[in-house]
Amino acid sequence: MHIQEELSQRHVLSLTVSNEAGILARIAGLFTARGYNIDSLTVADITPDHGVSRITIVTNGPPKVIDQIIAQLDRLVPVHKVTDLTESGPFVERELALVKVSGTGEDRIEALRLADVFRAKVVDTTIESFIFEITGTTDKVDNFVGLMRQIGLVEVGRTGVVGLIRGKEAI
Amino acid sequence: MAEKSGADILVECLLDLGVEVVFGYPGGAVLPIYDALFNHPTIKHVLVRHEQGATHMAEGYARSTGKPGVVLVTSGPGATNAVTGITDALMDSIPMVVITGQVPTQLIGTDAFQEADTVGITRHCTKHNYLVKDPAKLAGVIHEAFHIATTGRPGPVVIDIPKNVQIATAPYKRPAPVAHASYHPQTKADAAGIDVAVEMLAAAERPVFYTGGGVINSGPEASTLLRELAALTGAPVTSTLMGLGAYPATGPQWLGMLGMHGTYEANFAMNKADLIICVGARFDDRVTGRLDAFAPNSRKVHIDIDRSSINKIVDVDVAIVADVGSAMADMVALWKARGHEAADLSAWWAQIEGWRAKKSLGYAEDGAEIMPQRAIADLYSACTATGKDVIITTEVGQHQMWAAQHFGFDAPNKWLTSGGLGTMGYGFPAAIGAQMGNPDSLVICVAGDASIQMNIQEMGTASQYRLPVKIFILNNEYMGMVRQWQELTYQSRYSNSYSDSLPDFVKLAEAYGWTGIRIEGPDDLESGIRAMIDTPGPVIVDCRVAKLSNCFPMIPSGAAHTDMLLDPSQVKGSMTDEAKALV
């Protein structure tokens, strides 16, 4: 007997939640308990009184599973609103990465040249290394990191995705 | 404003919220609360023998009265022992508030004596939970917890209160009604969905109502509305295990329970229906059988208060997110306003009568042994003859299914069973809870010889509070459902399913000051049941039944409704790996 898997789609979900103890564990635990995937998850409070946080989750699954994820998140008591950015119309998504690269001579110059192409900033340098700061879509960051790997990638830290719908309305 | 201790605030809140009974067990981390209870004798405290018992008592109390069940346990083992009952209440949507003691805030996280991460452990088996670190917030949290437990889709809520918060003081005034920032369950249906559902119902040729525990949870008026809607439309009604009693078993449109051990007519009606109106049920795997063969030619309307239940397993054509009572009231009103008449469903009913003629609940009797089905049927007729209000609870297993099949329920809140989690050990404490809430009712726990032993320590609780509960054990000396599956799936290799070393239940009864009755054979059955009912105090009946009886009809795991087995001769004795992998 073999276990079959269904085709997945990537979705970016944006949640507003009460900023209370355990909320992140509640959300993350829901995903593990029900076997859903988390590609990335970001969280920070977004109101002056620190009462509400926005959580952005990148997940993947068949359409029916995505619907279930949204319904399950929505019934958590501290969750105010769940929006599927992928379904709700055009939206902007960005993540930030810090990318440490080491090398000397031609590698160093090539790294700077590529950073320029990707509009990455140098935020730290030594004689033998750089840390680049890059923002963009997941794809763009992946590509940049992939190129740096060929030059001398030391390590990388990524924030995961945040996103907002385009236009003047809030979610 | 006068300040009160956290423990006093808690008790004040319970009084304000109308709590009459608390099921609990004291311990170090709840001593301040127990001291506060000592000074408030109007709240009745039922001292249990194990915290799991307290949770099931609270469930039985809640399910039979419609009020939330309240549990009070200590930190660490007190809380972890409660987890099974909390999970059970979550699965079956039972309103329950569990108050757990916790080590003082400065010791949290230090592996202190009797410390457990209660909010962490119960995060995914509660509807919501709280750790209260400030006595000033306690009253608001308690009122909110009761609001969340009892509204929307009901469920268990845990409030973890560190010991120093119970002792510290804060100003107290009764909180204003809960206005929650993010919790707003939808109870009123959108008119468009009701409109479509009513028109589909009026036009259907082969409609069926598939009802569930949501009808019970919605309150007795939902059962009345279901009966009215059924009468108006003339459509047949089936129910899940959890929904029994919402439509009367003696009603003319009743098909019996559906699903794995449901009737032939209920399952075939679901399979051949052109319209299924699902009311407060959730297309559980015990109900649907093989999904790609489930009700293949039907359109489906799903009414549920929990949006996440809709399209979770089976895709439906019309989704109505609402309290089922409110939605059915809207449907009844619209049906009448449109002047709809019940359609001519005679061809559909003729088909149903054909399935009914299979008599799928029939069983052979040889006269030498008591068939378990006969024991339930006789219990049913004896109970009916008393004219009393009768509440039946069950443990989990064959006896549970036989009780569901052969005991008829004509009213809601009279049938208490663990459906979702399937918790052996539920029934007896649930009976104690039901008896607490319904002192004049005849409360009987139908049990198996194995499952009754899972919370048998609560006999002491029933004795202490003079609760005249009856335990009716169908004793076949097996974990019967396990043995049945081993017979069907594993060529009768009865691995560890024999109930060896059973206690003498009659002597056990005597040890606790109960009455014990043994029913050895068919000749004792009627008189034994009679004696049980007529005995004023608590009674255990050890009813010896045929040892190797199987519960039929049965849809094997992973099979379609139309592949149901009616009797043992249809069993082939082996299963594919795919079928074996299903629960």
Query: Are the CB atoms for B113 and B27 separated by under 8 Å?
Result: no
Strand partners, A52: A18
The closest alpha carbon to A134, from A156, A153, A151, belongs to A156
User: Helix (H, G, I), strand (E, B), or coil: what is residue B489?
Assistant: helix
Among B126, B144, B308, B578, pick the best mutation site for testing chain A contact (most A Cβ within 10 A).
B308
In the annotation, is B114 catalytic?
yes
Are residue A26 and residue A63 in the same domain, yes or no?
A: yes
Which of the pair, B177 or B569, is modelled with greater confidence? Answer: B177
Instruction: State whether A77 and A117 are in the same domain.
Output: no
Q: How many Å apart are CA B274 and CA B90, to the nearest integer?
A: 32
Is-catalytic flag, B457? no
Query: Shortest Cα distance from B258 to chain A (angstroms)?
Result: 25
Task: With residue B129 as reference, give the H or E element that holds it.
Answer: strand B128-131
Find where tokens 């594919």 sit. Answer: B576
Quick: pLDDT tens for B199-256. Answer: 999 999 999 999 999 999 999 999 999 999 999 999 999 999 999 999 999 999 999 9
Cβ atoms of residues B298 and B275 within 8 Å: yes
- By percentage, how much of chain B surpasses pLDDT 70? 99
The residue from A84, A115, A144 where one domain ends is A84
- Both tokens of A96, joined, read 């930030």
Predicted pLDDT of residue B582:
75
pLDDT tens column, B495-538: 999 999 999 999 999 999 999 999 999 999 999 999 999 999 99
pLDDT at B173 over 90: no
Q: Which of B106, B113, B221, B510 is catalytic?
A: B113
The structure tokens listed for B92 are 């079956």
Catalytic residue from among B260, B270, B331, B481: B481
Domain hosting A39: range is: 9-84
Yes or no: say if B402 and B552 are a contact pair by the CB < 8 Å rule. no
φ/ψ of A105, rounded to 5, equals: 65, -130
Handedness of CA B189, B191, B197, B202 (dihedral sign): positive
Q: Are residues B416 and B393 in contact, defined by beta-carbon separation less than 8 angstroms?
A: yes
Task: Based on the fold, state whether residues B318 and B284 are members of the same structural domain.
Answer: yes
Give me the residues paired with residue A41 across strands: A57
Write the CATH number for B35.
3.40.50.970
Tell which of B295, B321, B356 closes a domain: B356
Summarised one tens digit per residue, pLDDT across range B300-349 is 999 999 999 999 999 999 999 999 999 999 999 999 999 999 999 999 99
Which one of A49, A84, A119 terminates a domain? Answer: A84
End-of-domain residue from the set A24, A57, A84: A84
Whether B51 is catalytic is: yes
Query: Does one domain contain both B323 and B296?
Result: yes
Contact B308 A72 (CB under 8 A): yes
The pLDDT > 90 percentage for chain B reads 93
Closest CB to A80 among B123, B153, B182: B182
Question: Do A48 and A21 share a structural domain?
Answer: yes
Residues B17 and B166 in one domain: yes
User: Could you tell me if A107 and A44 lie in one domain?
Assistant: no
Give me the number of domains chain B comprises.
Answer: 3
Determine, for residues B308 and A30 on separate chains, whether the beta-carbon distance falls below 8 Å: no
Spell out a b/e string for B309-346, using b for 16 or more CB atoms within 10 Å of the CB, else e: bbbbbbebebbbbbbbbbbbbbbbebbeeeebeebebe
pLDDT on residue B578: 74
What pLDDT score does B23 carry?
98
CATH of the domain at A149: 3.30.70.1150
The verdict on residue A2 lying in a domain is no
The band of B574, judged by pLDDT with boundaries at 50, 70 and 90, is low
Give the model's pLDDT for residue B63: 98
Contact B72, B99 (CB under 8 A): yes
Q: Give the closest-approach CA distance of B137 to chain A in angstroms.
A: 13
Asked if residue B388 has pLDDT above 70, the reply is yes
Q: What is the C-alpha to C-alpha distance for residues B540 and B515, in angstroms, rounded to an integer?
A: 6
**Do B109 and B47 sit in the same domain of this protein?**
yes
Regarding an ipTM greater than 0.85, the answer is yes
> Pairing mode, if any, of strands B442-448 and B515-519?
unpaired
B434: which residues sit within 8 A by CB, 6+ positions away? B60, B61, B63, B64, B391, B393, B416, B441, B443
Sheet holding B237-239, edge to edge: B254-257, B237-239, B207-211, B275-279, B299-304, B318-321
Instruction: Average the pLDDT over B283-295 and give the result.
Output: 93
Q: What are phi and psi of B261, to 5 degrees?
A: -115, 30
Distance to chain B for A34, nearest Cα, Å: 10
- The model's confidence at residue B257, banded by pLDDT at 50, 70 and 90, is very high
The Cα of A36 is separated from the nearest Cα of chain B by a number of Å equal to: 14
Q: What is the pLDDT of residues A91-123, one digit of tens each?
A: 999 999 999 999 999 999 999 999 999 999 999
Report yes or no on B583 lying in a domain. no
Cα distances (angstroms) measured from residue B541 to each of B368, B532, B533 = 19, 7, 10
Q: A59 and A26: one domain?
A: yes
DSSP B418-448: --SS--TT-HHHHHHHHHHH-TTSEEEEEEE
Q: How many domains does chain A have?
A: 2
What confidence tens digit (pLDDT) does each residue in B102-141 have?
A: 999 999 999 999 999 999 999 999 999 999 999 999 999 9
Predicted pLDDT at A94 = 97
Contacts of B312 in chain A (CB under 8 A): 68, 71
* Shared-domain flag, residues B285 and B164: no
Label residue A157 exposed, middle or buried (CB < 10 Å: 0-12, 13-18, 19+): exposed
Question: What is the pTM assigned to this prediction?
Answer: 0.96
Residue to mutate among A24, A72, A77, with most B CBs inside 10 A, is A77
pLDDT at residue B572 in the model: 63
- Residues B526 and B545: their CA atoms lie apart, in Å, by 14
Alpha carbon distance B151, B218 (integer Å): 9
Q: What is the pLDDT of residues A123-164, one digit of tens each?
A: 999 999 999 999 999 999 999 999 999 999 999 999 999 999
Q: Which residue segment(s) compose the domain that B137 sits in?
A: 3-171
Q: Do A1 and B148 touch (CB under 8 A)?
A: no
H/E stretch holding B542: strand B539-544
In a domain, B104, yes or no: yes
Cβ neighbours of B148 in A, within 8 Å: 77
Nearest CB to B181 within list A29, A71, A80: A80
The answer on B198 and B149 residing in a single domain is no
**Interchain CB distance below 8 Å, B181 and A21:** no
Whether the pLDDT of residue B573 is over 60: the answer is no
CATH classification of the domain holding A37: 3.30.70.260
Cβ-Cβ contacts under 8 Å, A64 against chain B? 311, 315
Taking the CB of residue B39, how many other CB atoms lie within 10 A of it?
9
Q: Tokens 């709809």 appear where?
A: B340
A75 and A132 together in one domain: no
How many residues does the structure list for chain B? 583
- The CA distances from residue B463 to A105, B65, B503, B577, in Å, are 88, 22, 19, 48
What's the gap in Å between the CA of B141 and the closest CA on chain A? Answer: 13
Same domain, B352 and B376: no
- CA geometry: angle at A155 spanning A150 and A161, to 5°? 100
Structure tokens at B25: 């067990």
**Pair (B250, B156) in one structural domain:** no
* B553 prior amide bond cis, ω within 30: yes
B374: Cα separation from own chain's centroid = 24
Residues linked to residue B257 through DSSP beta bridges, in sequence order: B239
Tell whether B18 and B140 lie within a shared domain: yes
As given in the structure block, the two tokens for residue B261 are: 């051990």
Cβ proximity of B195 and B202 under 8 Å: no
Tens-digit pLDDT profile for residues B66-111: 999 999 999 999 999 999 999 999 999 999 999 999 999 999 999 9
> Is B340 within the bounds of a domain?
yes
B144 with B245, same domain?
no
Look at B182 and A71 and tell me if their CB atoms are within 8 Å. no
A168/B366 Cα distance (integer angstroms): 79
The pLDDT value recorded for residue A6 is 75
Identify whether residues A101 and A78 lie together within a single domain: no
Coil, strand or helix at B340: coil
Q: For A57-70, what is the mean pLDDT?
A: 96
